């Protein structure tokens, strides 16, 4: 066979394989980019891709969005306590700019949405308005450019997950309670927390100039506040997850606790009818008891249930009238 014929055959073979890959990835759609699957268990291995797909196509009334701090929330608990239908959208280490894209997918595509709960981390607000946790953020899933879908449909990573859905996960039911849930896999105790905490150990990529109140406020104003202003028919609930008191002690030692307090005061001063703020970092019965934690930030799953119950009963709701009392309680804990 001549060289030209071999070349033609290779081109034809490559084209056929490419079309086959596109068809498989489109039909299976492992990251829920086009539709929500009802015939296989949705993977929890690719948080950024899957969360964006769910944000776009899962038409619940309530969405709870955040980092690992929200991974132990259960949709069934949210549904029962808040009398709603819900979806949990997580990205470990989620930055505020990543949160922006998740919220945008929801408000652009979900006509049923009525409540958006945002778990706000201060690390998420740091550095700059456009910071991403990694360079691998799937922009092609959020730019509404159909041509960019080729990066999804021809990707070998997508194909690998498509085959997994067709084999291992086929005919299994997705549990949104279990998705990204790790609550039962860790030990929670004072001994564990103190054993793994070294106050002198450097934090990767930590630079004090990235953790100022101006940066926090600018990031919030750029990434989140425009949605609150524009979508007045959607209730936005911001929660500060209850880090342990050691986290605030660490902030104090690194001299940025005052910037966190300034940011919290700024948010408490905002006045929008569709905005509520809950500060669970004021709940000293939780934050001062290290037996609730597996490290200085992550807490046992019962606390996730406690936060939903508190939102239902409007407990620990923060405003300009009680923010100083809350910050005083946090400071007392940090001074321990």
pLDDT value of position 202: 62
**What is the predicted pLDDT for the residue at 336?**
77
Tell me, what's the pLDDT at 13? 86
Q: What share of the chain is helix, strand, coil (3-state, %, to 5)?
A: 50, 10, 40
Predicted pLDDT of residue 55: 97
pTM equals 0.95
CA distances, 26 to each of 20, 21, 55, 153 (Å): 10, 8, 18, 6
CATH of domain 50-138+173-334: 3.40.50.1110
Full pLDDT tens readout for the chain, 336 residues: 577 777 788 888 888 999 999 999 999 999 999 999 999 999 999 999 999 999 999 999 999 999 999 999 999 999 999 999 999 999 999 999 999 999 999 999 999 999 999 999 999 999 999 999 877 899 988 987 888 899 999 999 999 999 999 999 999 999 999 999 999 999 999 999 999 888 877 666 678 899 999 999 999 999 999 999 999 999 999 999 999 999 999 999 999 999 999 999 999 999 999 999 999 999 999 999 999 999 999 999 999 999 999 999 999 999 999 999 999 999 999 987
Q: Which string of b and e fits 131-149 if b means at least 16 CB within 10 Å? A: bbbeeebbebbbeeeeeeb
Q: What pLDDT is recorded for position 302?
A: 97
Conformation bin of residue 255: beta by default, left when phi > 0, alpha when psi is -120 to 50 = left
Taking the C-alpha atoms of residue 123 and residue 86, their distance in angstroms, rounded to an integer, is: 26
- Containing H/E element for 118? strand 115-119
pLDDT, residue 203, reads 66
What pLDDT is stored for residue 15 in this prediction? 87
């Amino acid at each position: 066979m001549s060289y030209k014929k071999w070349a033609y055959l290779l081109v034809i073979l490559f084209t056929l394989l490419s079309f086959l890959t596109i068809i498989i990835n489109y039909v299976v759609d492992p990251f829920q980019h086009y539709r929500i699957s009802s015939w296989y268990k949705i993977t929890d291995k690719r948080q950024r891709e899957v969360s964006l797909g769910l944000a776009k196509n899962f038409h619940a009334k309530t969405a709870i969005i955040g980092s690992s701090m929200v991974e132990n929330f259960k949709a069934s608990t949210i549904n029962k306590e808040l009398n709603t239908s819900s979806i949990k959208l997580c990205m470990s280490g989620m930055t505020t700019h990543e949160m922006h894209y998740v919220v945008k997918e929801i408000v652009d595509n979900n006509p049923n949405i009525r409540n958006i709960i945002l778990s706000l981390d201060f690390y998420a607000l740091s550095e700059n308005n456009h910071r991403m946790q990694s360079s691998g953020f799937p922009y092609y899933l959020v730019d509404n450019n159909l041509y960019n879908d080729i990066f999804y449909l021809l990707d070998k990573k997508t194909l690998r997950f498509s085959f997994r859905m067709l084999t291992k996960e086929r005919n299994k039911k997705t549990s949104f309670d279990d998705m990204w849930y790790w609550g039962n896999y860790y030990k929670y105790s004072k001994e564990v927390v103190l054993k793994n905490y070294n106050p002198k150990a450097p934090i990767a990529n930590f630079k004090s100039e990235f953790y100022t109140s101006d940066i926090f406020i600018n990031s919030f104003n750029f990434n989140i506040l425009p949605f609150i202003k524009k979508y007045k028919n959607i209730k936005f609930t911001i929660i500060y997850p209850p880090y342990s008191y050691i986290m605030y002690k660490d902030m104090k030692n690194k001299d940025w606790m005052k910037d966190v307090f300034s940011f919290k005061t700024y948010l408490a001063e905002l006045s929008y009818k569709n905005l509520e703020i809950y500060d669970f970092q004021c709940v000293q019965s939780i934050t001062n008891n290290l037996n609730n934690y597996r490290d200085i930030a992550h807490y046992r799953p019962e606390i996730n249930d406690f936060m939903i119950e508190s939102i239902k009963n409007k407990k620990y709701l923060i405003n300009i009238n009680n923010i100083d009392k809350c910050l005083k309680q946090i400071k007392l804990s940090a001074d321990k």
